[in-house]
Structure 1
Amino acid sequence: MGQRAAIYCRVSTADQTCGRQEADLLAFAVKAGFDVVGVWKETASGARDDRAQRKKVMALAQARDVDVVLVTELTRWGRSTIDLFHTLGELQAWGISLIAQTGLQFDLGTPQGKLIASLMSVLAEFERDLLRERVRSGIAAAQARGVRFGRQPGQRVKADRHQKRALELVAAGQSYREVGLRLGISKNTVLAIVKRHRAEQAGP
């Protein structure tokens, strides 16, 4: 009896089909002597993370109900270098191999697998650096256009939300500490609310 294989196929848009991938992988499985337990197909772009069918394949792998996962190429499986590295690491931890039709097999027990893991680790770090750089560049460009990030001077989101109730409780004789504990804010925030209210009442 051969190794149990799960076939995973993915296309990016609704006007595409998984027919060619499925046929090629079924033929590949027969030639390699794998016992196919099922074919999982879905339509999802490379960037989307809501891949229900891939999650099912991962669940089978975690339960050790398959021995290998077959794909036509690694881009059909991974959303990004980081995602590919993480999911392959999970499969490896469960003792499951991911095999591409091209003959590329990810298995940390082999020299080829170790080399791929090392290269992917470097690429994943490179991708993270690129992402951080894009974020920093985006923030800098937005700031240059006058966009301001974070809480601005004069904004008192939490204090403003609790102001009415805090003033009522203080007027009822509760201490600032008691009011703060009751509303989930600090004693200093309660004090600031009261001071600001008194200043507004006093007027110019």
Structure 2
Amino acid sequence: MSHLIGYARVSTRGQSLEHQHSQLVEQGCARIFEEEVSGAKRDRPELTRMLDHLRHGDVVIVTRLDRRARSTSDLLAIAELLRASGAGLLSLAEPWADTTTPAGRMILTVFAGIADFERSLIAERTSVGRDAAKSRGVKFGPKLSLSPSQVARARELLEGGRPVSEISKIFGVHKATVYRALGQG
């Protein structure tokens, strides 16, 4: 037997879940999971509890898709989790987002394709941009703790008999940094 399950979320403590709750009750939700947490946070305990609670045939109802997901890719990932558990998704504000119908599933499939295409474009642009920056001499990664002249001076000090612990204190870095800079790490 399928159940209507509600999910309500507000971003800040100053906002109220009351309006979403009443809309979900009007729809006949048997259980409503509510949380006050930013959608940008990955850790949404009530969303996780709701996903664990779902059974085959259940339909998750949200008042708006932005209450459910942080981004298109997040929405698609959650929709896939629902599909895998045999549950559907219905948004009250976006009637096209109804995975209990063939048309709604098709729309989400098209969105998944668009999101995948966008991810590949972003990866390609990032790669091209990184390669162009490298060809201009841009260095990636953390800033070096010791400049080339400091490395040369550290080498001189080491060859002069100074211990690495003393050299690290002179330059205000950890001993491991001196060892790495001198190629001895």
TM (norm. structure 1) is 0.58
Pick closer, same or farther for the CA change 1:9–1:149 going to 2, 3 Å.
same
Equivalent residue for 2:89?
A: 98
Q: CA offsets per residue over residues 48-80 of structure 1, 9 Å max, x none?
A: 21111100000011xx28711110011211121
SS at match of 1:106: coil
Distance 1:44 1:142 in 2: 38
Instruction: State the 1:148 CA deviation.
Output: 2.3
Q: CA offsets per residue over residues 64-120 of structure 1, 9 Å max, x none?
A: 28711110011211121111111111211211011112444113xx42133223221
Equivalent residue for 1:25?
A: 24
Of residues 102, 108, 115, the one that matches 1:124 is: 115
Query: How does 1:10-89 map onto structure 2 within 5 Å?
Result: 10-29=9-28, 36=30, 38-61=31-54, 64=55, 67-89=58-80
RMSD, aligned α-carbons? 3.6
> Percent same amino acid among aligned pairs?
34
Counterpart of 1:112 in structure 2: which amino acid?
A
TM (norm. structure 2) is 0.63
- Counting matched residue pairs gives 146
Counterpart of 1:52 in structure 2: which amino acid?
P
Pick closer, same or farther for the CA change 1:91–1:129 going to 2, 3 Å.
same
Larger radius of gyration: 1
Alpha-carbon contact 2:56-2:85 (below 8 Å) kept: no
Pick closer, same or farther for the CA change 1:75–1:133 going to 2, 3 Å.
farther
Higher fraction of helix:
1
Distance 2:12 2:135 in 1: 37
Q: Which structure 1 segments of 5+ residues have no match?
A: 155-191, 197-204
Counterpart of 1:81 in structure 2: which amino acid?
T
